[in-house]
Amino acid sequence: MDDRRRYCPVCATPLMTKRLSGIDRRVCGDPGCGFVFWDNPIPVVAGIVEHEGQLVFARNVRWPKGMYGVVTGFLEPREEPRDAVVREVAEELGLAAEITEFIGVYGFARKNQILLAYHLVGHGEITLPDGELAEYFHVDKACAQYWPGGTGLAVRDWLQRQGFDPQPRQLPPEVEAWLKAPPELD
């Protein structure tokens, strides 16, 4: 449950915690309002980008050194997930990209997200235009490792479908500690 919300977005009455259907929920304290914060998962697209025959992994500017991932982003209102992942690759890596396949749906409980993962082939020269990514690097598919959750599982699944045997990545202690800390507000 997200306890950061303190006031009802409908009537501004302070929220309170109430057990509904066996789960603690934030609800409006005004019985006439009826607002319930359901805290439904947020849909996020994830793109495993192949560029010049290798996979591209990147580090977000807010992540510690040693933490990397794939391109991810939120859907805009009424945007199709396929369009969103192509847009995110263009925004974050400066690449034109085409989707080759939908990989799957993955939960990411730490951030209360549902990930829609795709494989894309990117064309052009990589640039980091918006300042969201600190760095990127290329990895041969045969050497790519996966991390134990979220988009890492999509990387693992996609590589296995391509006939590779990806191994789990041992995360540095500072990355393990960062992952165990409460998530930051985006």
Say if CB 61 and CB 67 are below 8 A apart: no
- Which residue spans of the chain are classified as CATH 3.90.79.10? 42-170
Q: What is the pLDDT of residue 176?
A: 79
One digit per residue, the tens of pLDDT, for the chain of length 186 reads 445 679 999 999 999 999 998 999 999 999 999 999 998 999 999 999 999 999 999 999 988 888 899 999 999 999 999 999 999 999 999 999 999 999 999 999 888 999 999 999 999 999 998 789 999 999 999 999 999 888 999 999 999 999 999 999 988 888 778 777 766 644
Contacting residues for 146 by C-beta, under 8 A, at least 6 apart: 152, 153, 155, 156, 159, 166, 167, 168, 169
Superfamily classification of domain 42-170: Nucleoside Triphosphate Pyrophosphohydrolase (3.90.79.10)
Counted residue by residue, the chain has a size of 186
State the alpha helices, DSSP H only, in 53-184: 81-93, 151-161, 173-180
